[in-house]
Amino acid sequence: MALLGERRPAPEETVLPRLRTALTLFFALDGFLFAGWVVRIPAIKEHTGASAGDLGLALLGVSAGAVATMTVTGRLCRRFGSHPMTVLAAVLMSLGIALPALAGSALSLGLVLLVFGAAYGGINVAMNSAAVDLVAALRRPVMPSFHAAFSVGGMLGAGIGALIAGHLPADRHLFLLAATGLLVSGVAGRALLAHPAPRPAPRATTPASDAPQAGGRERRLVAVLGLIALCTAYGEGALADWGALHLQQDLSARPGVAAIGYSVFALAMTLGRLTGSALLERLGQTRLLVAGGATAAAGMLLGALAPSLWAALAGFAVTGLGLANIFPVAIGRAGELAGPGGVAAASTFGYGGMLLGPPAIGFLTDWFSLPVALTTVAALAAVSALIARTTREPARGPVVGGR
């Protein structure tokens, strides 16, 4: 029996922080597992005996699997709930990451990567949908913090993978990653499975029982937000695959120094996302999208055209800060407008941009030069800022701060 005058905590005061911690762990796990797989691609190439061309085709399995399941996952989240789908996708991704170690050829590698990619696409839609619901219930703009956890997980996965790559065979490393994923999924999944996705606080103009419905205007806005996500994800994919080569080939950086380029970009993006909630509260969605796109455009122009290595590295850092919060804000707003279907649609656009970036840069490099090709990252970042500026939408609540 409670003491007289003692206030019992409301259920949401204990449940919502637990859900936030659990979702943060899933975002970090997603980044950790994917980065752990990426650093072992060279070893898997050697193990399967695949040529560079065959490996490239096999790696398309990840992309194809992810894109194929994103829209389906949105529908499954509406039917079964985003929390069970997040846990299920995390378990499948953890099991899927061990499959490349069993592949004996480029063909079998491509097939198992379809499974891994399907789980990767599924968890990204499911956990972002769950995060949108939680952000609405918390009534605080914490979406960037989840994506910061993804970035931190990715940095840890890449760093640990790089350290043990020379000491542990790829199959043992991937099996260890699978075991880690299953353990984290079991621990963090208990909170998600114990509680359904929270409902946002009722608003004066919208009944609390109403689910987000996508009418014609909402669908158009979701498509616009997906286009913004595409423009910025294009830059992430381009820098991941071409940044180091630009520093080495065009600015005569040593291989070790050139490899730092993407690390600088990724670290700046992580720091930007860690401060994203405060920026959202201060600036609101539209101003943050515009400022982020403009900052990334200026940074990438410097990174692509600077005549010195250190100026280019500074440009990469500014680009990372600019791009940091655009994708999470776009995905979060799409979910606010249209629920899991909005998250799925915008995520598919964004993932498409990440796939489009590297080959587009390659073709443009053949036609012009790599520095000129990289300026398309700046151009698309500027386009995202312009789109955000010209398609302002009044906020539907205080979830994301004022404009």
Is 228 within the bounds of a domain?
Answer: yes
219 pLDDT more than 80: yes
Task: Give 208's pLDDT tier (boundaries 50, 70, 90).
Answer: very low
pLDDT of 84 reads 96
Rounded to the nearest integer, the mean pLDDT of the chain is: 85
Looking at the structure, do residues 247 and 177 belong to the same domain, yes or no?
no
pLDDT of 2 reads 46
Looking at the structure, do residues 87 and 150 belong to the same domain, yes or no?
yes
CB within 8 Å of 173: residues ≥ 6 apart: 36, 40, 161, 164, 165
Q: How many domains does the chain have?
A: 2
Task: Give 403's pLDDT tier (boundaries 50, 70, 90).
Answer: very low
Is 92 within the bounds of a domain?
Answer: yes
116 pLDDT more than 70: yes
Is 206 within the bounds of a domain?
Answer: no
CATH of the domain at 372: 1.20.1250.20
Looking at the structure, do residues 229 and 289 belong to the same domain, yes or no?
yes
Express each pLDDT in 167-190 by its tens digit: 889 899 999 999 999 999 999 999
Task: Give 200's pLDDT tier (boundaries 50, 70, 90).
Answer: low
9 pLDDT more than 60: no
> What pTM does this model have?
0.79
347 pLDDT more than 90: no
Is 7 within the bounds of a domain?
Answer: no
Residue 22's domain spans which residues?
16-194
- At residue 165, the 3 state secondary structure works out as coil
Contact status, residue 228 vs residue 380, Cβ threshold 8 Å: no
Looking at the structure, do residues 189 and 307 belong to the same domain, yes or no?
no
Looking at the structure, do residues 131 and 31 belong to the same domain, yes or no?
yes
pLDDT of 12 reads 61
Among candidate residues 143, 161, 194, the one where a domain is terminated? 194
Tokens at 111, concatenated: 């097939």
Looking at the structure, do residues 64 and 183 belong to the same domain, yes or no?
yes
Q: How many CA atoms lie within 13 A of 270 on its CB side?
A: 17
Region 93-108 average pLDDT? 93
CB within 8 Å of 310: residues ≥ 6 apart: none
Task: Give 240's pLDDT tier (boundaries 50, 70, 90).
Answer: confident
Q: Which helix (H) or strand (E) holds 68?
A: helix 52-80
Q: Which of 7-21, 34-48, 367-381 has the lowest mean pLDDT?
A: 7-21
Looking at the structure, do residues 108 and 161 belong to the same domain, yes or no?
yes
Is 203 within the bounds of a domain?
Answer: no
pLDDT of 204 reads 42
Percent of the chain with pLDDT over 90: 46
Tokens at 40, concatenated: 């072992």
214 pLDDT more than 90: no
Looking at the structure, do residues 308 and 364 belong to the same domain, yes or no?
yes
In whole angstroms, give the CA distance from residue 403 to residue 400: 9
Is 200 within the bounds of a domain?
Answer: no
Is 271 within the bounds of a domain?
Answer: yes
pLDDT of 59 reads 80
Tokens at 295, concatenated: 């900052």
Looking at the structure, do residues 303 and 228 belong to the same domain, yes or no?
yes
Looking at the structure, do residues 148 and 232 belong to the same domain, yes or no?
no
333 closest CA partner among 245, 209, 218: 218
175 closest CA partner among 112, 114, 102: 102
Looking at the structure, do residues 233 and 145 belong to the same domain, yes or no?
no
Region 126-135 average pLDDT? 91
Task: Give 390's pLDDT tier (boundaries 50, 70, 90).
Answer: confident
Looking at the structure, do residues 63 and 161 belong to the same domain, yes or no?
yes
Is 384 within the bounds of a domain?
Answer: yes
